[in-house]
Structure 1
């Protein structure tokens, strides 16, 4: 079974808005490129899919835009070529190497997890909360930004039950960012 990994940048006060943390640097982009490379496919909600596509889809010219630094290219290439699944009840179609996921979310994601491979990756805010509620996330990976945002969407906001996690890896970046990877501890809900 392929594990489902949830990864996101998050400020110290739990904000997950991509503009509230530190701007990407070479070290963080190497990290995210490696994350994209180790995933068989990416799972996005409609909003995250649209945001990622507008930022990281290779232009029709075949050349990356001039604003993109050399150190951003490995991430751009990895996310551009990755297989993507988009959970949406409102989109009529998707492209960018993507397929729509409709119907029962739990059934659809369990089916994707049953396929052979190294793992699935999910980002964003709303979809991961729903997946956590269903007990479908096997790893939680947070890049803790040394920033207090004081506003914005919060990490897994609205979970009905707490998740108890165990730390499996920790890595510090020169910028002060700390990457932490957790797995669910004990039972699926972590209650106890």
Structure 2
């Protein structure tokens, strides 16, 4: 069974808006590129899928845009090539190496987890809250940015039950951001 990992950038006050933290630097992009390597597939809700596609899909020209630094290209190539599953009740089709996930969320994600491999990676805000409520997340990875946003969507807002976690890894970036990786208490390592 492959684990489901939830990874997200978050500010000190719990904001998860993608523009609320520090802009990514070379160290952060190397880290996220390595994280893509730990996943067989990515699981997104509609909003996150469309946001990631707009930012990281390779243009039809075959050349990455001029605004992208050389140090961002390995991440762009990794996410562009990754298999993606999109949970959406409003999209009728997806592409970008993706397929729609329909029906009962818990059952569908359990089926994906049953497949062999390194793991599934989920990002975003709304979908991970639903998956946490269903007890389907095996690892929580927060890149805590040294910023207080003061507004925006918050980490796991609306989760119905308390989820006890244990710290399993911690890493500091030169920027002051801190990666904190947790597993639910009692989960297998």
For Structure 1 versus Structure 2, the TM-score category normalised by the shorter chain is: over 0.9
C-alpha distance in 1 between matches for 2:35 and 2:170? 15
Per-residue deviation, 1:101: 0.2
In structure 2, runs of 5+ residues without a counterpart are: none
Mapped to 2, the partners of 1:88 and 1:44 lie a distance apart of 9
2:109 alignment partner in structure 1: 109
Q: Compute the displacement of 1:82 (Å).
A: 0.0
Deviations 1:38-71 (A, max 9, x none): 1000000000000000000000011101110000
Q: Distance in 1 between matches of 2:41 and 2:14?
A: 26
Match of 2:100 in 1: 100
How far 1:171 moved relative to its partner?
A: 0.2
- Aligned positions, number: 188
Alignment correspondent of 1:28? 28
- Whether 1:182 and 2:167 are equivalent positions in the alignment is no
Q: Which residue of 1 aligns with 2:4?
A: 4
Question: Which whole-Å CA distance do the structure 2 matches of 1:36 and 1:52 have between them?
Answer: 13
Q: Aligned to 1:111, what secondary structure does the other structure show?
A: helix
The secondary structure found in structure 2 opposite 1:77 is helix
Structure 1: how far apart are the matches of 2:113 and 2:161?
Answer: 23
- The CA deviation at 1:37 is 1.4
2:78 counterpart of 1:78:
yes
- Tell me what 2:135 maps to: 135
SS at match of 2:157: coil
SS of 2:14's equivalent in the other structure is: coil
CA RMSD of aligned residues (A): 1.0
Query: Which residue pairs with 1:190 in the alignment?
Result: none
Q: TM-score, normalised by structure 2?
A: 0.98
Runs of 4+ in 1 over 4 A off after TM superposition: none
In structure 2, the partner of 1:149 is 149
- Residues 89-140 of structure 1 show CA distances to partners (whole Å, capped at 9, x for unaligned) of 1100000000000000000000000001000000000000000000000000
Q: Equivalents in 1 of 2:82, 2:144: separation in Å? A: 25
* Structure-2 separation of matches of 1:168 and 1:100: 32
Tell me the equivalent position of 2:16: 16
What's the CA shift for 1:186?
Answer: 3.0
Unaligned 5+ segments in structure 1 are 188-192
The separation in 1 between residues aligned to 2:115 and 2:41, in whole angstroms, is 11
Matched with 1:158 is 158
